[in-house]
Structure formats: structure tokens, C-alpha cells
Amino acid sequence: MKLWGGRFTKPTNELVDEYTASIYFDKKLAKYDIQGSLAHVEMLNVCGIISKEDADKITEGLKKVAAKIESGEAELSAESEDIHMNVEKLLIEEVGPVGGKLHTGRSRNDQVALDMRLYLRVALVDLISLLGKVQESLLNQAKANLDTVMPGYTHLQRAQPVLFGHHMSAYVFMFQRDVERLQDSFKRVNKSPLGAGALAGTTFPIDREFVAERLGFDGICENSLDAVSDRDFVVEFLANASLISTHLSRLCEEMVQWSSAEFNFIELDDEFTTGSSMMPQKKNPDVAELVRGKTGRVYGHLMGMLTTLKGLPLAYNKDMQEDKEGMFDTVETLKGALALFAPMIESMQVKKENMHQAVKEDFSNATDLADYLVGKGMPFRESHAVVGQVVLHCINQGQYLLDLSLEEFQSFSNLIEEDIFNALTPETVVNARNVAGGTAKNRVEEQIEKASAYLKEN
């Protein structure tokens, strides 16, 4: 007999039980479901809705059910559909008919919204802490690479040299905004929907604030229809997770490129790479590739959730049961990636010499030659054209700018003097970008300091 079987004359079709059940995945919410029920039953007693004796029995029973689910001893069934009804059924088995008083003044609709928020709250805290570890590993690499000059790219073409420490700190700031987004979303997640009932509230004189406070919420959802029918907090989480995945994926792509023979800028530690079953020489950046690849499923969950909610009339609709798997999978996917990321970054070997050599074999100091001429009074547009000519000449000769003699330089402009040779070295070029946020060593040090201060406050 179903908990709601009273008005039915036939049992549900077995296929329907299987199809509509969510127990296969919402069993993850067991802990939170029981946490919510413990607060609810305490409130029912405090408000004089059930006796102390009944409340105590239910409380004891719920704790036993929690232990049995935790140990795997409890049998969870599709026949009982979801975690809420499974727990209630187990409770009644444990304490008898008095267990049936637990659901007074409550619906599964406000209950499930509560469980989702309790789950997500914990996940947000975990993810913020994992992101912090990734930020730390990037900062450590940044600090260790304040003298490492590498080619900076636009369009994946060598553009201007930058410090590897500058490149690493760029990601620290991206992840900082991700942390801030999660922190900001926390306040919208941290509201209690319990007491909204099925949609309209309840006739019992419950105390919603009491339950909210017991569960550590900052307050209650103000409108009962809204409380049970929106999952915008899930969408917001999935959107934030999508951005985190984007940032991770871009860095992964760079790590894959940098560890190729073509770049040869880094070597990932053996611990974070894998081999080929056929080609003995291979060392593949599988972790970085897979993190990049899993971005697809996170984006997919965001699209899935948005699409599920679109066009749903108020209030609760069974469609909303589809909110769970994507959220769980996103939390687990991100946790897995972030946990691996910090040690993978930390243990990555940076081939400083190769980066430096690459900068010497390109035209990434061309802007500096143009800026040099501007310093001697030439309008920038003109110097840009002159340097274009110099670069073309070098390409035809198989040379780089610093291979030219003073006479050759002067054949393009007699404004060029002996000091040009120092003006075009990678170190000078980098340190000349001495603007706030720029790649000059002291500016990157400033950025690292700022980022470290943010990290301490997270």
C-alpha cells in the first residue's frame, strides 16, 4: 500500500513505479532529508502540534533510520518512489503509526526544495575550498616564475612576451570571481522553503522561522508558491559551475598545448599523465584532456535545467524531479576535477629555458621597436609601418630584430640609436610594461599580493 494509496482502487503499474521513481538518485539526499525532518518534528512539538512524547519517538526513530540508511542496512525501494517516502516508510516500520505524524503540515514539495538547498549549501562550501587550493597552486607557480619570460599570444600567434607568473596569476583572478559568484549565490540558496506546504502554506500553526533557524538558514522563502516552484538556485549554480568549467577547460587546453613537443614549455608530472597501450614513448595529458572534455556535461546540465523549467506553470510539477541528477553530477564532476587540479599544477615542471628561447626566436618585441620610435618623436601610425618593413626584411633574411646591425636598423630610420639593442631584449620588453596589471615583474608581484589577500578572505 502506497503512503498516498487511499483514493486508488488499483496498484500503480510496475512500469510507472520504475519510471516515476527518483529513489535511484535522490537517495543522495537521505542525510539532508532526515536533517530537515528532525528540525520539523522539533518545531511541531514546540508549536504544540504534536506531543513531546510523540516528537521524541519520531526523533529517535529518524536517527535509527539515518543509521540504517548510512550502513546500507535499510532497503530503499522504487515502490516508495523517492527518498522522502522511503524515509517515512522506514520510520513507521521503526516506531509504528506515530511515525505518520511527522508529515503534519508538510508536503514533499517543500521538503524536496529544502533537501536540495541543504545539499547545495554543503556542496558550495566544499567547492569554494577546492577552488582555493587550485588558486594556491597557481599562485605558487606564479611566485616561482617571476623571471620566466614566455611568448604571450593573441590568435595563438606570438604577440608580446609576458612572465609565466603573469599568465598563472590571470587564472587566479578568474577563479577568484568564480569563488565570489559561489559565495554570492550562497545567500540565495540559504533560505528555507519548509512550511510552504504543497503550494499554499498550511493550516497548522507552524513556525517557519524556528525551522529555518534550527537548520542554519538566513531566513525563509517569502512566498510559498515561489518556494516550491522555482529552481533558479539550481540554474544559478549550474551557470556558475559552467564558468568554472570554462576556466578549467581553457587552462587544460593550454596545458595540453604546452606539454606537446611543438611547444615543449612544461612537463606534467608522471603522476598526472598516462601512457599508451601501443606506443611506448607516449606520455599523455589525459587528466587535462578529460577535465576539458567534462565541460560538455556541465554545460549540458545547465541547458537541461533551463529547458525543464521553461514554460512550467506554478507551482510544483513532476518535471522538477529532473533537477537532481544534473546538479549531483555537476557537483561531483567539479569536485573530481578541482581535487586533481591543484596537485597537477603544483607538480608541473616549467621549462623556463625553452620558454625563454622561444621568445628570442620571434618578433614579439616588434611593438617595442615601434614604441621606441614613438619615444624619438615619430607618430605611432608611422612607426608601426616602419617596423612592419623591418619585420618583413628580417623574415626575408631569416633573421630576428636583435640580429640586425645598427646600420641595418638605421637604413629604416635614422632615429634608431645604439640603445635599441637593450630596448629589445625580452627582460626590457617585459619590464617596460610597467602599468597596473601589466607584465612587468613588480606589477606581477603586486597582482600576486592582491590575489593572496583575496584568498585569505575567501
* Binding stretches for ligand ARG (CB under 6 A): 22, 26, 82, 84, 108-109, 112, 316, 318, 320-321
Report d(CA 196, CA 119) in Å as an integer.
Answer: 19
Smallest distance, ligand ARG to C-beta of residue 321, A: 4
For ligand ARG, which is the closer residue by CB, 107 or 259?
Answer: 107
Contacts 24+ apart (CB under 8 A), 385-389: 386/412, 386/413
| Residue (of 27, 92, 107) closest to 58 by Cα position | 92
Answer yes or no: are the C-beta atoms of 88 and 103 closer than 8 Å. Answer: yes
Identify whether 276 is a catalytic site residue.
yes
Smallest distance, ligand ARG to C-beta of residue 145, A: 48
Size (the chain), residues: 458
Smallest distance, ligand ARG to C-beta of residue 29, A: 9
For residue 268, how far is the Cα from the chain centroid?
22
Answer yes or no: are the C-beta atoms of 128 and 121 closer than 8 Å. Answer: no
Report d(CA 38, CA 377) in Å as an integer.
Answer: 78
Report d(CA 350, CA 111) in Å as an integer.
Answer: 51
For ligand ARG, which is the closer residue by CB, 35 or 413?
Answer: 35
Instruction: Mark out the alpha helices in 145-216 (DSSP H runs).
Output: 164-189, 208-214
For ligand ARG, which is the closer residue by CB, 305 or 366?
Answer: 305
For ligand ARG, which is the closer residue by CB, 145 or 321?
Answer: 321
Smallest distance, ligand ARG to C-beta of residue 278, A: 46
For ligand ARG, which is the closer residue by CB, 83 or 134?
Answer: 83
Report d(CA 342, CA 331) in Å as an integer.
Answer: 17
Quick one: cell of 427? 627582460
Identify whether 155 is a catalytic site residue.
yes
Answer yes or no: are the C-beta atoms of 87 and 37 closer than 8 Å. Answer: yes
Quick one: cell of 421? 639593442
* Active-site residue, from 276, 301, 347, 364: 276
- Bridge partner list, 126: none
Smallest distance, ligand ARG to C-beta of residue 319, A: 9
Report d(CA 75, CA 358) in Å as an integer.
Answer: 63
* Active-site residue, from 71, 155, 277, 405: 155
Helix, strand or coil, per DSSP, at residue 89:
helix
For ligand ARG, which is the closer residue by CB, 18 or 382?
Answer: 18
Smallest distance, ligand ARG to C-beta of residue 450, A: 43
Smallest distance, ligand ARG to C-beta of residue 323, A: 7
* CA dihedral sign, ordered 186, 242, 291, 26: positive
Query: What residues contact 156, with CB distance under 8 A and at least 6 apart?
Result: none
For ligand ARG, which is the closer residue by CB, 251 or 320?
Answer: 320
CA angle 51, 52, 56 (to 5 degrees): 120
For ligand ARG, which is the closer residue by CB, 288 or 320?
Answer: 320
AA identity, residue 338: L
8-state DSSP, 352: H
Smallest distance, ligand ARG to C-beta of residue 112, A: 4
Catalytic residues, which ones? Answer: 155, 276
